[in-house]
Amino acid sequence: MTDFTQLSLGLAEVCRRAGQFIRQEAASFDRSRVEIKGVHDLVSYVDQEAERLLVAGLRELLPEAGFITEEGTTGGSGLATSTGTEYTWIIDPLDGTTNFIHGLPCYCVSVGLLHQGELAAGVVYEVTRDETFRAVRGGGAFCNEQPIRVSEAPGLGQSLIATGFPYTQFGELDSYLQILGAFMQRTHGVRRVGSAAADLAWVAAGRFEGFFEFNLNSYDVAAGILLVREAGGRVTQFLADGDPLFGRQVVASNGRVHEEMQATIREFWKA
């Protein structure tokens, strides 16, 4: 029987090693080595090498596991899948690549583990603050090994909300801007950090009361979803309780403001 707590501690160490590489490269990063996948979709050799480091380390931890990776290290390009029969790692080697390229905090290493289709462990390592967020199914959530819990704010009027801006599929932009405007008026404010993994980790840590974004991939959110849930929060799709891991849209909250968030989104979201 797999000890997911011990496995998550090993995962945290693998993520920190990848983060150390990213931090070292940040000191002398050469923007000319950036690959343009799209106007708003960038990748660098740092993403690719960090992913190779992660895959190598995770194969040592759990040799039988498959992979879902952003940069295609395990074969192919883009989203590459190599799915194990029981375990699958879901990897984002550098969530917040645009921040990294421009020398801005924050950016993260994010890795989640699926066991028989359910999230079992996850780590988000925020490189610039040297913070390791770790969660185990049924075992709680931690930041630098201190337990974390979601905020106790009771409503949107006492909340700080995080979001991400769309960089493809601009057909929903008008609806998104209406939602953004409503949250700006009904909360303490809205922040756009530039890393969904950090947004979710910070909901888990009680720094944000909620987070919403659409057009996300599984590797953006896998570890963060488990962090929020294990910290006492709630994570769904925009309008329903469907699985957000592969659903492309996420609402995460402390639980207390969740229905208000969904109701606000419902006013404008037509997709």
174 is in an annotated binding site: no
47 is in an annotated binding site: no
Listed in sequence order, the DSSP H helices in the chain are 4-26, 45-61, 97-101, 173-186, 196-204, 218-230, 258-268
User: How many whole angstroms separate alpha carbon 232 and alpha carbon 151?
Assistant: 9
φ/ψ of residue 256, rounded to 5: -70, -30
User: How many whole angstroms separate alpha carbon 149 and alpha carbon 54?
Assistant: 28
User: How many whole angstroms separate alpha carbon 115 and alpha carbon 263?
Assistant: 32
Beta bridge partners of 108: 95, 126
92 is in an annotated binding site: yes
**Of 248, 250, 252, 238, residue with least CA distance to 217:** 248
Rg of the chain (C-alpha set): 17
Annotated binding site for Mg(2+): 70, 92, 94-95, 220
Annotated binding site: 70, 92, 94-95, 220
